[in-house]
Amino acid sequence: MLLTVGHTWQLYPAYLAVLITIFIIILRKDKKRKVLVSIVLLVLIALSAICLYLLPLLTLPKPSGKYQVGLHYEILQTDRDETLTLEPGDTRKLYLKIWHPTNGGVRKAKYIEGGKETIDFLLNKSNIRIPGFLFHHLSEARTNSYLNAPIANGFFPIVTFSHGHGMWQSQNTSLMEELASQGIVAVSIAHSHQTIFAARSENTMVSFNNIVPLNMDADTLKVKEYLRRIKVVNSKSEMDQLISDNISSVEFQTEFLKVWSADISQTLDMLIAENRNHESIFFQKLDTTKIGVAGMSFGGAAAVETSLHDTRIKAALNMDGKQFGNLISDSTHAKILFLEAKQFDHNLSRFGPFFNRSTDQVTCLMFNNTKHLNFSDIGIFSPALSYLGLLGEVEGVFVVEQINKIVPDFFKVSFNKEPFEADNYLVPEKIILPAE
């Protein structure tokens, strides 16, 4: 058992059951004690099964592309002033994880950098009063990515990814691996001071103890009023105006969006420079005419916002993020895809101008019975999260697998200047196109 699933606390009751089995054999002449011990044995085995069901060993879906997946860590030191700290002279630093096609490697990377210390830090920050050892098994989870593997021969498009506010850059590792396996260099950006931690290497992480919040008190009141009014809107034109007013009024979030958008553009600048650098592993490996941006939640809003002014971007993906910024007034040249939870209170699918003003195709697919965190790897962490109301009723693995199917196809057709055929991805009662 140890050889097949590893040394993890969920199996301790089963290990104890093995010892009890041996004890039963020794006591085979004592029938009463044998019956009692047998009952204890069944209880322990059931306990292990329940623990493995509620807190399973994390296994990411195997990427479906023709390439193996390589992983590199990079640090981008910019010359921009760091506006999210009070340190004089502080300049913005970004931590990047870069997944890329490879022909193989030696050792697969861990899912969570920093191991058990990172897990304890996350639990402490979240104020969850749960013993840390219950989640320590996640520190041993491995990805499908080979650490520091050489990049494969070829000329590969680029897609950046931005995490949700207060989340972390590895939150959609499964999607990053899928993109890389299909011949795309996928770069996840840790947006400093608005992520809970960033990866410096596989074994070290940088923690951000004071995450700068999106909502100040006044903005929180505006959001509450918006959520109240959105439930009683009677017409599409009224909905459009309500969303426009709400987006325009949230000044702090719009300012943060500018910071994240600049992060994305500077990451693209760095990658283009690496493509010209003889000493870089990415030298003449990147197709800088095929660039896409993606993100989840606030990161999705930042991705679409960046596509408005950075003309290098050919396609943008927003996964379940309320769209702040200039999309309510400016037109976009890029192809855009929104993936949304049906229960999302800021459903962009009901906002006509996003779709009517674009010079390229804008599509929205809605996932029934999902919640916000379903659009990340958290959807496959544990079925217990659905019982706690953090995930929707739909099976978490289903959502992750569908995203891994839809997103690479979206970017590929966008880079080839072909239409995105949304009907190909509809699943009755699960994935739908929003009503007109």
Least confident range from 42-51, 328-337, 366-375: namely 42-51
Whether residue 36 sits in one domain with residue 86 = no
Residue 80 structure tokens:
């921009």
The answer to the question of residue 83 being in a domain is: yes
Helix-helix angle 217-230:236-249, to 10 degrees: 170
Cβ burial of 418 (10 Å; 0-12, 13-18, 19+) is exposed
Continuous H helices in 231-250: 236-249
Residues above pLDDT 70, as percent of the chain: 73
**Are 119 and 240 members of one domain?**
yes
More confident residue, 433 or 306: 306
Res. 344: pLDDT tops 60: no
How does DSSP assign 366-399, residue by residue? EETT--GGGGSGGGGT-THHHHTTSS-SS-HHHH
Above 70 in pLDDT, residue 30? no
Range of the domain at 273: 68-432
Residue 385 has pLDDT above 80, yes or no: no
| Average pLDDT for 43-62 | 75
Q: Residue 59 above 50 pLDDT?
A: yes
Contact yes or no for 58/135 (Cβ under 8 A): no
pLDDT at 218: 45
Report yes or no on 217 lying in a domain.
Answer: yes
Residue 340 belongs to some domain of the structure: yes
Give 98-110 pLDDT, tens digit per residue. Answer: 999 999 899 999 9
Residues 316, 280 within the same domain: yes
Co-location of 288 and 161 in the same domain = yes
Residue 318 confidence (pLDDT): 94
Same domain, yes or no: 186 and 314: yes
The tens digit of pLDDT for each residue in 128-148 reads 566 666 777 777 789 999 999
Same domain, 6 and 138: no
CATH of the domain at 375: 3.40.50.1820
Are residues 33 and 96 located together in one domain of the fold?
no
CA dist 210 and 208 (Å) reads 6
- Decide if 61 is inside a domain: no
Summarize pLDDT for 249-261 with one digit per residue, the tens. 556 677 889 999 9
This prediction's pTM = 0.84
Encode pLDDT of 420-429 as tens digits. 999 999 999 8
Residues 26 and 105 in one domain: no
Query: Per residue in 159-177, pLDDT tens?
Result: 999 999 888 899 999 999 9
Are residues 377 and 423 located together in one domain of the fold?
Answer: yes
Q: Indicate the average pLDDT of the chain.
A: 83
Q: What are phi and psi of 178, to 5 degrees?
A: -65, -45
Confidence at residue 346, expressed as pLDDT on a 0 to 100 scale: 54
Please report whether residue 414 resides in a domain.
yes
Q: Please compute the mean of the pLDDT values over residues 251-277 and round it to a whole number.
A: 91
Give the contacts of 194 (CB within 8 A, at least 6 positions apart): 84, 165, 166, 208, 211, 212, 214, 256, 260, 298
Cα–Cα distance measured from residue 76 to residue 286, given in angstroms and rounded to the nearest whole number: 18
DSSP code per residue over 162-219: EPPTTS-TTTTHHHHHHHHHTT-EEEEEE-TTSSSEEESSSS-EEE-SSPPPS--HHH
Q: Which residue has the tokens 């569908």?
A: 402
pLDDT at residue 366 tops 70: yes
Cβ-defined contacts of 390-393 (< 8 Å, 24+) = 392/341, 392/343, 392/367, 393/369
Q: Which residue has the higher pLDDT, 13 or 171?
A: 171
Question: What tens digit of pLDDT does each residue of 217-250 get?
Answer: 445 556 566 666 666 666 666 766 666 666 555 5
With a cut of 80, say whether residue 43 has pLDDT above it.
Answer: no
Read off the pLDDT of residues 290-339 as tens digits, 9 standing for 90 and up.
999 999 999 999 999 999 999 999 999 999 988 777 766 677 789 999 99
Do 21 and 104 have their domain in common? Answer: no
So what's the pLDDT on residue 217?
A: 44
Domain co-membership, 136 together with 201: yes
Residue 5: the pLDDT is 43
Residue that is last in its domain, among 31, 54, 77: 54
pLDDT value for 14: 64
Count the domains in the chain. Answer: 2
Residue 60 counted as domain residue: no
Q: CA-CA distances (angstroms) from residue 270 to 81, 185, 264, 273, 314?
A: 17, 13, 10, 5, 18
Please give the pLDDT value at position 143.
94
Q: Are residues 380 and 238 in the same domain?
A: yes
Is 59 inside a domain boundary?
no
